[in-house]
Structure 1
Amino acid sequence: MNKMDNHPLRRSRAFLTVFLKEVRENLRDRRTLTSAFLMGPLLTPLLFVMIITVTINRELDKAEQPLKVPVIGAQYAPNLLGALEAGGVVPQPALADPERAVRDQQADLVLRIAPDYPKAWRKGEPVQVELIYDSSQRDSSTPVERVTRLVEGYSRQQGAMRLIARGLSPALGTPVVVAKRDQATAQSRAVLMFNMLPYLFVLTIFIGGMYLAIDLTAGERERQSLEPLFANPVPRWKIFLGKLAAICAFSTASLVICLVAFSVVGGFIPTEKLGMEVHLGASFALYVLLLQLPLIVLLGALQSMVAAFAKSYREAQTYLSVLMMVPILPSIALMVMPLKPQNWMYAVPLLGQHLGILDLVRGEGVAAVPLALCLAGTSLAALLVTLVTMQLYRSERLAISG
């Protein structure tokens, strides 16, 4: 009588038997449990929230705290220096080589006032001040914007006073005024900060099922346990579907843990300080789970297919590590080439999920047509990859190691 790890396979319940066997065995595997239920789903939200929170608080502190700026030629524009000091700038002694000091990150920026500033000012001519900075240094952007805003404000104020002194209305200096009407809501602005959230969810799914997919194909092939399994009088497609169901179960559990973690730690992100609002609660989690269900099957089948070509566990790890780069492509594409979402885009696997999750973050929800296209397109891709992997399971070479 054929046996499979002391669990007899029967045609009527082969799928369920394989599924329960793989789940039970891998629940005892520390490496699989760590990757599926700890590393991705728990650490990812914590790290994401920590980075966002530190970044927000740091930028806000830099915008509010006194800003030390070395000033060259401070004696030529005492009134300008007074306006800067009123705005929180603390003038520092001049530097001998400001360009080198900025390049060496000894100063975020340096303000230089030319010696002819007083003469041009008395004649009522335009005067120029220089801001020396290095735009490649991330820390320089906030100080530069802050000083620029103060100088421009001082310039507008002095220009208005010059017009008044000549008996003219200050409005003559601004014949055209732009009235900005920002239609963004507090929730829609959160997309700017949470643009990588869809990728994090996909990565959680991928990692959650990766080690299980490797173990159930290349791992068993290396241990030479696939051959006795295939010797049972059971269609191989049932064996594969049982294994695929186990992979999807671990990936789904990993995603659920990640969503719960985000709903908990998301409330600690100080988005209100930036005029943003984000809701990562139960409704958001349910919609994300719905969008990702066909993708879970697609990634599980794809991982199984790639791992089936590997002859060892380590070789399969290498292949799937390369495959892990695929889910980030939609995120990179949308950052490099911002596109206006169109319905057909939702039918593209990964891209559709990315756009749908951003719609949820924006607070708009996913419309019926995009939602249907997203589910249908990814489901079709999952079906095709599953059928191809089924064909691989029919090959006798799959059971042979070495």
Structure 2
Amino acid sequence: MNAFSAVYWKEVRENLRDRRTLVNALLTGPLLGPVLFIMLMNVMVNRELARADQPIDVPVIGAELAPNLVNALKGAGIDAEPAVADPERAVHDMDADIVIRIAPDYVKAWNKGQPVQVELVYDSSRRDANTAVARVRNVVESYAKREGAMRLIARGLSPATAWPVTVADRDQATSQSRSALMFSFLPYFFVLTVFMGGMYLAIDLTAGERERQSLEPLFVNPVARWKLLAGKLAAICTFSLISLLLSVLAFSTAPWFIPTEKLGIALDFGVHFGARVLLLMLPLIALLAALQSLVSAFAKSYREAQTYLSILMIIPILPSALLSVIPVRPEPWMYAVPLLGQNLGIVQLMRGDGVTGQEVLLCLAGGFAAAALAIIATAVMYRSERLAISG
């Protein structure tokens, strides 16, 4: 058995016996997050769908002035409740999601054929009230259009006279591309899973051994330093790869628990999707393993390395955060940028558009080039005798 294999299997076996590494690499990162997200998404979606179908009670001020409007609301499952003295306060105190206020001159203006005012009092910052507000607004606007058309007909005019221009929507979104909006965070989550999967192992194999003063006996062996580093990096990559695989498998169960048919979306997280994700993420597994080892090498203790890597963890967030704030049109060169290329590629897969061979090659080339630079920098650090000194 050569030095590389000896170091690799030694580190893998030792960390398989380390409960902390196993919990963080193979449980917390790849499984806990997807399970919690799927459960929360399932509860939230079912709750919103239930609220969209159930009757709601809405206080109406001046309901006696517009009985036809009240009947239209009732026909849509919106029951008029007694008026409240202060609608703004009722909405602010969350006693009501929305309050309808009919202008006192409603009848007079209506009889003269003049526009009438119906106020909707609500708080747009309350996400739990958005469903009720949308339902009420749609009913009121539909009632207004219908009555407007009736006025024109009574005057011998075609309703089309009031709408010389009509808008015809041609939405090109597919059920699968709409699902990309709901799961737009997925690329970041996969990157974070890879990071968490190898982080504790990288700390233990560098800063941990330095703190235990076991690096110096290892370095005095007549073995090239690069072989020692290669064995350690391979062990870190193995745990990261397993962590990513478990995460992909966990998210593949999402269609079983989320009512995709009711939402009009399609989730395809099958074998084809998982295989492409693993391929795109391969460069990042090597890159993050090298970066984690490099940063940990500057720390003299396990806790200090944790602090450093917690700061390094911000880097995987940047592409997803930037794309969520500043949507960009993908350009070929972007796929060659590590992290950004993986983010764009996975989003394309979720949309059902797929990634071309050129985009895959750019993603792999850029990622492995960055990983090679990080590995070289780590190898230079491993050649330093200061690394073996804990004090």
Whether 2:125 is the aligned partner of 1:136: answer yes
Structure 2 counterpart of 1:62: 51
Structure 1 counterpart of 2:357: 368
* SS of equivalent residue, structure 1 residue 147: helix
Select which of 140, 155, 164 maps to 1:166: 155
- Counterpart CA distance in 1 for 2:341 and 2:48 is 33
Whether 2:167 is the aligned partner of 1:178: answer yes
Structure 2 residue identity aligned to 1:194: F
Select which of 252, 260, 265 maps to 1:276: 265
- Counterpart CA distance in 2 for 1:159 and 1:209 is 65
Select which of 61, 73, 83 maps to 1:72: 61
Whether 2:141 is the aligned partner of 1:152: answer yes
Structure 2 counterpart of 1:389: 378
* SS of equivalent residue, structure 1 residue 180: coil
| 1:58-113, Cα deviation, whole Å (9 max, x unpaired) | 11112111111111111111111111111111111211221122122221111111
- Counterpart CA distance in 1 for 2:331 and 2:376 is 29
* SS of equivalent residue, structure 1 residue 293: helix
Structure 1 counterpart of 2:70: 81
1:257 offset after TM fit, Å? 1.2
Whether 2:31 is the aligned partner of 1:42: answer yes
* SS of equivalent residue, structure 1 residue 277: coil
Whether 2:99 is the aligned partner of 1:110: answer yes
- Counterpart CA distance in 1 for 2:253 and 2:70 is 47
| 1:211-249, Cα deviation, whole Å (9 max, x unpaired) | 000000110000000111111111211111110100000
- Counterpart CA distance in 2 for 1:263 and 1:227 is 45
| 1:142-162, Cα deviation, whole Å (9 max, x unpaired) | 211111111000000000000
- Counterpart CA distance in 1 for 2:237 and 2:63 is 67
* SS of equivalent residue, structure 1 residue 187: helix
User: How high is the TM-score relative to the length of structure 1?
Assistant: 0.95
Structure 1 counterpart of 2:293: 304
1:352 offset after TM fit, Å? 0.7
Whether 2:353 is the aligned partner of 1:341: answer no
- Counterpart CA distance in 1 for 2:199 and 2:374 is 16
1:264 offset after TM fit, Å? 2.9
> Which runs of at least 4 in structure 1 moved beyond 6 Å after TM superposition?
none
- Counterpart CA distance in 2 for 1:265 and 1:73 is 47
- Counterpart CA distance in 2 for 1:266 and 1:82 is 40
1:290-329 matches, within 5 Å, as: 290-329=279-318
- Counterpart CA distance in 2 for 1:323 and 1:83 is 58
1:197-236 matches, within 5 Å, as: 197-236=186-225
* SS of equivalent residue, structure 2 residue 115: coil
1:330 offset after TM fit, Å? 1.1
Structure 2 residue identity aligned to 1:253: I
Q: Is the 8 Å Cα contact of residues 102 and 109 (structure 1) preserved in structure 2?
A: yes
Structure 1 counterpart of 2:185: 196
Structure 2 residue identity aligned to 1:287: R
* SS of equivalent residue, structure 1 residue 178: coil
Structure 2 residue identity aligned to 1:210: M
Q: Is the 8 Å Cα contact of residues 49 and 266 (structure 1) preserved in structure 2?
A: no
1:265 offset after TM fit, Å? 4.0
| 1:325-348, Cα deviation, whole Å (9 max, x unpaired) | 221111111111111111111111
Structure 1 residue identity aligned to 2:322: A
- Counterpart CA distance in 2 for 1:179 and 1:335 is 29
57-66 or 146-155: bigger deviation: 57-66
- Counterpart CA distance in 1 for 2:234 and 2:101 is 67
- Counterpart CA distance in 2 for 1:310 and 1:81 is 70
RMSD, aligned α-carbons: 1.1
1:8-23 matches, within 5 Å, as: 13-23=2-12
Structure 2 counterpart of 1:239: 228
Identity over aligned pairs, percent: 65
* SS of equivalent residue, structure 1 residue 95: coil
Q: Is the 8 Å Cα contact of residues 271 and 278 (structure 1) preserved in structure 2?
A: yes
- Counterpart CA distance in 2 for 1:342 and 1:111 is 49
Select which of 388, 391, 401 maps to 2:390: 401
279-288 or 42-51: bigger deviation: 42-51
- Counterpart CA distance in 1 for 2:27 and 2:254 is 15
Tell me, which stretches of 5 or more residues in structure 1 are unaligned?
1-9
* SS of equivalent residue, structure 1 residue 211: helix
* SS of equivalent residue, structure 1 residue 69: strand
1:185 offset after TM fit, Å? 1.1
Whether 2:176 is the aligned partner of 1:187: answer yes
The size of the alignment, in residue pairs, is 391
- Counterpart CA distance in 2 for 1:128 and 1:374 is 57
| 1:300-337, Cα deviation, whole Å (9 max, x unpaired) | 11111111111110111111112222211111111111
Structure 1 residue identity aligned to 2:44: T
- Counterpart CA distance in 1 for 2:219 and 2:331 is 46
* SS of equivalent residue, structure 1 residue 47: helix
Whether 2:133 is the aligned partner of 1:119: answer no
Q: Is the 8 Å Cα contact of residues 66 and 89 (structure 1) preserved in structure 2?
A: yes
- Counterpart CA distance in 2 for 1:108 and 1:338 is 32
- Counterpart CA distance in 2 for 1:185 and 1:379 is 34
1:283 offset after TM fit, Å? 0.8
- Counterpart CA distance in 1 for 2:368 and 2:279 is 12
